[in-house]
């Protein structure tokens, strides 16, 4: 099977492929909001029907939450073909604050910018545009050759943006069907928006929500201020005490399972020439925070974190209400690395809060969620074949990198199904995923399709 004809077909199909993506983007498949249940179901149906048009045996699978989409294509019958499992997610983040969008989030369109044409709309980069790069690569292969060069299965989830509550049960119940030679995930990006990359390590995560309770009711600050304890003061000090003056996290035993970066990997990352000043400058910052003795890439990719994601209490409406609130609340997240155990981190956090809690105050904890970090071995030949395929498509050579984010599915493929996973994506740093005005560069969409076509050809050899 020749690759050049497939690449030419992708170039020829670009307008039609973009129109299909715009159709999918118009479906407001927000998984975390019950008001959009029907839309998540509609997105799953859309994908099933689209996969069927290119020969996949596709179906929608009911779960206790939003449905999964499964599809299988046999590939060539002449020999035992490599079998890959491709994963993506069709659900998207909420669009709030809506008033910060320049265009309606679910009325996607092509937009000319000073950096080129972009596809603007919620889900364009995370993850509908990314997953459709693979679907369109498969479409071109089938249109040219009548079949795919290898055996391909597809697994699309509808709850990735809302914690994936149905994912693990579904994977365990369907382990045989989901198992392949290797998994491929398209939910990452280009390094510094330019270098095609295979992500080989991801941080895990623990999320915590807790409340501090004080007096039995809100108190008048003139009558009780200075005498009665204030839950917001207590909460603020608890949060401040989570880090020391050197930027290290103070939870007992927190660093016990954190490995040191090898000299070889540190050298490789330094050779990438990461511009941390520009990275921070793009978002209006300039001074690196975190551990003072670590390089910026180390802090993003291989060091654990503790961040405050939300804090509230008292009166926050218009005007002023002079009260001492009866309670205060916060959301804290930890990014994990190495062998850090989410349950151990949660227990240490609860112990920290209770240990530093003054008299008259109590703490209440919502259920914690967590996932371990993931690290993929590149010994599997598919990694180097895919890296070379990326090098053949992009101006700069493909690289192995880390990622500061958490994509639990990569670890689940390994732990539940015993499969390695390759994370290959084409997003750019300025795609504004999870934010207003999300976009996906048309070049990323186009070259992403071509990249996957090359990878399929490489894995068939």
Domain boundary among 352, 370, 388: 370
Asked whether residue 305 carries a pLDDT value surpassing 70, the answer given is: yes
Residues 112 and 219 in one domain: no
Residues 249 and 329 in one domain: yes
Structural domain containing residue 393: 3-202+373-460
Asked whether residue 74 carries a pLDDT value surpassing 70, the answer given is: yes
Residue 273 has what pLDDT? 85
Exposure string over 196-227, b if 16+ CB within 10 A, otherwise e? bbbbbbbbbbbbbbbbbbbbeebbebeeeeee
Residues 64 and 193 in one domain: yes
Task: Kindly report, residue by residue over 187-240, the tens digit of the pLDDT.
Answer: 999 998 999 999 988 999 999 999 999 999 999 999 999 999 999 999 999 999
Residues 443 and 302 in one domain: no
Average pLDDT on 405-428 reads 92
284 inside domain: no
Asked whether residue 457 carries a pLDDT value surpassing 90, the answer given is: yes
Residue 378 has what pLDDT? 86
106 inside domain: yes
Residues 39 and 146 in one domain: yes
25 inside domain: yes
Residues 21 and 82 in one domain: yes
Max mean pLDDT among 15-24, 69-78, 397-406 falls in 15-24
269 inside domain: no
Burial classification of residue 19, based on how many CB atoms lie within 10 Å of its CB (0-12 exposed, 13-18 middle, 19 or more buried): exposed
Least-confidence region, from 37-41, 79-83, 114-118, 322-326: 79-83
Domain boundary among 312, 336, 370: 370
Residues 47 and 186 in one domain: yes
Tell me the torsion sign for CA atoms 317, 319, 325, 331: positive
Residues 384 and 363 in one domain: no
270 inside domain: no
Q: What's the mean pLDDT when you consider all of the chain?
A: 95
117 pairs with which residues across the strands? 112
Structure tokens at 231: 């839950």
Please give the share of the chain, as a percent, with pLDDT higher than 90.
Answer: 86
CA distance 385 to 391: 10
Residues 247 and 356 in one domain: yes
Query: How many domains is the chain partitioned into structurally?
Result: 2
286 inside domain: no
Structure tokens at 95: 């669009």
Residues 44 and 189 in one domain: yes
364 inside domain: yes
CATH of the domain at 327: 3.30.70.360
Task: Kindly report, residue by residue over 365-401, the tens digit of the pLDDT.
Answer: 999 988 888 888 888 999 999 999 999 999 999 998 9
Domain boundary among 370, 403, 434: 370
Burial classification of residue 276, based on how many CB atoms lie within 10 Å of its CB (0-12 exposed, 13-18 middle, 19 or more buried): middle
223 inside domain: yes
CATH of the domain at 378: 3.40.630.10
CA distance 1 to 333: 48
pTM of the prediction? 0.81
Least-confidence region, from 54-63, 80-89, 123-132: 80-89
Residue 79: pLDDT band with limits 50, 70, 90? low
Residue 78: pLDDT band with limits 50, 70, 90? low
């Amino acid at each position: 099977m020749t690759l050049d004809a497939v690449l030419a077909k992708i170039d020829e199909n670009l307008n039609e492929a973009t129109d299909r993506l715009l159709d999918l983007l118009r479906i407001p498949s927000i998984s975390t909001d019950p008001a959009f249940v029907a839309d998540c179901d509609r997105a799953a149906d859309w994908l099933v029907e689209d996969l069927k048009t290119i020969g996949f045996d596709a179906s929608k699978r009911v779960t206790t939450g939003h449905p999964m989409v499964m599809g299988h294509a046999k590939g060539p019958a002449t020999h035992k073909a490599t079998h890959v499992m491709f994963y993506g997610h069709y659900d998207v983040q909420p669009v709030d604050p809506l008033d910060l969008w320049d265009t309606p989030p679910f009325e996607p369109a092509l937009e000319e910018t000073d950096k080129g044409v972009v596809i603007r709309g919620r889900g364009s980069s995370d993850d509908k545009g990314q997953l459709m790069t693979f679907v369109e690569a498969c479409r071109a292969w089938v249109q040219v050759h009548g079949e795919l060069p290898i055996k391909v299965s597809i697994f699309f989830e509808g709850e990735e943006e809302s914690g994936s509550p149905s994912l693990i049960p579904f994977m365990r119940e369907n382990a045989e069907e989901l198992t392949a030679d290797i998994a491929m995930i398209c939910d990452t990006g280009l390094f510094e928006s330019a270098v095609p990359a295979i992500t080989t390590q991801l941080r895990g995560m623990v999320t915590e929500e807790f409340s501090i309770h004080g007096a039995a009711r809100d108190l008048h600050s003139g009558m009780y201020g200075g005498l009665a304890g204030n839950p917001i003061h207590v909460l603020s000090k608890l949060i401040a005490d989570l880090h020391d003056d050197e930027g290290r996290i103070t939870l007992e035993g927190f660093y016990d399972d954190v490995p040191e970066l090898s000299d070889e990997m540190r050298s490789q990352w330094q050779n990438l020439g990461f511009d941390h000043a520009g990275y921070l400058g793009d978002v209006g910052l300039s001074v690196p925070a975190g551990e003072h003795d670590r390089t910026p890439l180390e802090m993003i990719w291989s060091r654990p974190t503790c961040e405050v994601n939300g804090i509230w209490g008292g009166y926050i409406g218009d005007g002023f209400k002079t009260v001492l609130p009866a309670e205060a609340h916060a959301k804290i997240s930890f990014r994990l690395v190495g062998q850090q155990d989410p349950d151990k981190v949660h227990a240490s956090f609860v112990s920290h809060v209770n240990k530093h809690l003054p008299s008259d105050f109590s703490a209440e904890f919502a259920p914690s969620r967590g996932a371990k970090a993931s690290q993929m071995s590149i010994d599997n030949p598919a990694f180097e074949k895919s890296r070379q395929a990326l090098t053949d498509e992009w101006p700069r050579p493909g690289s192995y990198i880390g990622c500061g984010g958490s994509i639990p599915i990569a670890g689940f493929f390994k732990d539940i199904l015993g499969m390695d996973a390759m994370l290959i994506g084409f997003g750019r740093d300025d795609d504004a995923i999870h934010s207003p005005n999300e976009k996906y560069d048309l070049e990323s969409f186009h070259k992403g399709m071509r990249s996957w076509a090359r990878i399929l050809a490489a894995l068939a050899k």
